[in-house]
Amino acid sequence: MTIGRLRRAMMRAAGVAIALSLIVAPGLLAYNQLIPPGGPNAIGSCTGSGTSPCYHWAKTAGNLSINVDVYLEVSLVGQEVDLRQEALNTMTSYNGIAARNPHLQQTTSTSSEEIYVSAANLNNPRALGGTSFTVNATGLISYATIRFNTQVEWDTNYDYTCRFVAGGNEVCKADASKVLRHEFGHAEGLAHIGTAVGVMIQGDPGPNYHSLQADDKNGIIHIYGAYP
């Protein structure tokens, strides 16, 4: 190979690399901000290291993931949509990411659970769900609670609307499949995103996501690392 051919080959390779980086970069840049130990109020200031670690479960090396026990309260079954089945589907989705994020497994014991999932009245018709954490100073999550609002009329039609009814109260509808994936995303450490590129968009119907998107998976990989 002459020097000229070698130079041309190297330039072609460089061009391919630049083109690839342009394709990949937006996805990498778009991963979720992560919830910092300063709390949801401080979303955006979390850098993931040093004095600003992000909320996360224990991390492992290699291809291992820690197991996290999830208790699904019976209240989830009595809603318009079977939220317990949706929760199980959601857990499978997160377990399917090629990352070292926690392996979510159902438990029937309320003494050993690390994530407690229930349906409850959140006293705000516009609140779809809420995720609560207990974390230490390094952002390590030791316990999480996920609640879905019983005031909401749950469906799977991707219907996000509110209406005022007699007495001046509001009644809202929401898509169970997306909200379940959203709340479990919080429980894994993901925060909200500002654009509708994944299930972690807040309060906006956006595209009809019933499955985790690249942005959601990239967020998980960013926190826990991909399988090597």
Partner 1 sequence: MSKARSGLGAIASTVVAVVLLALLVVTLQMRAPQATEPVGGGAVPVSSGATLSEAPAADVGEGISLGPAKPAEPPNAECLTYATVFDKILATVDDLARSSTAVVDATIEEVGPARWKTDTEQAPTEKQNLTSDRVMRLVRLSIAEDLSKRGASGSVVAWIPGGTMGCSKFLVDSYPVDLRVGDRFAFFLNSNNPPLAGLKGVSQVVEMWPIKDSVATSPELGDVSIADVSAAAARFLAP
Rule CB under 8 A: which residues touch partner 1?
A: 35, 37-41, 55, 71, 110, 113, 116, 118, 122-137, 142-143, 145, 160, 162, 164, 168-170, 172, 174, 179, 182-183, 186, 191-192, 202-204
Q: Which residues pair with 56 in a beta bridge?
A: 140
- Minimal distance, residue 88 CB to partner 1, in Å: 19
- Minimal distance, residue 83 CB to partner 1, in Å: 14
Pairing of strands 153-155, 103-107: unpaired
Nearer to partner 1, 2 or 41 (CB): 41
Cα separation values, 40 from 20, 49, 68, Å: 34, 17, 22
Q: CB of 199 within 8 A of CB of 11?
A: no
Nearer to partner 1, 62 or 203 (CB): 203
Nearer to partner 1, 143 or 227 (CB): 143
- Minimal distance, residue 61 CB to partner 1, in Å: 26
Q: CB of 187 within 8 A of CB of 158?
A: no
- Minimal distance, residue 163 CB to partner 1, in Å: 11
Nearer to partner 1, 97 or 144 (CB): 144
How many CB atoms are located within 10 Å of the residue 17 CB?
10
- Minimal distance, residue 5 CB to partner 1, in Å: 57
How many CB atoms are located within 10 Å of the residue 201 CB?
20
Number of residues that make up the chain: 228
- Minimal distance, residue 13 CB to partner 1, in Å: 45
Q: CB of 219 within 8 A of CB of 28?
A: no
d(CA 12, CA 1): 15
Nearer to partner 1, 91 or 117 (CB): 117
Nearer to partner 1, 100 or 117 (CB): 117
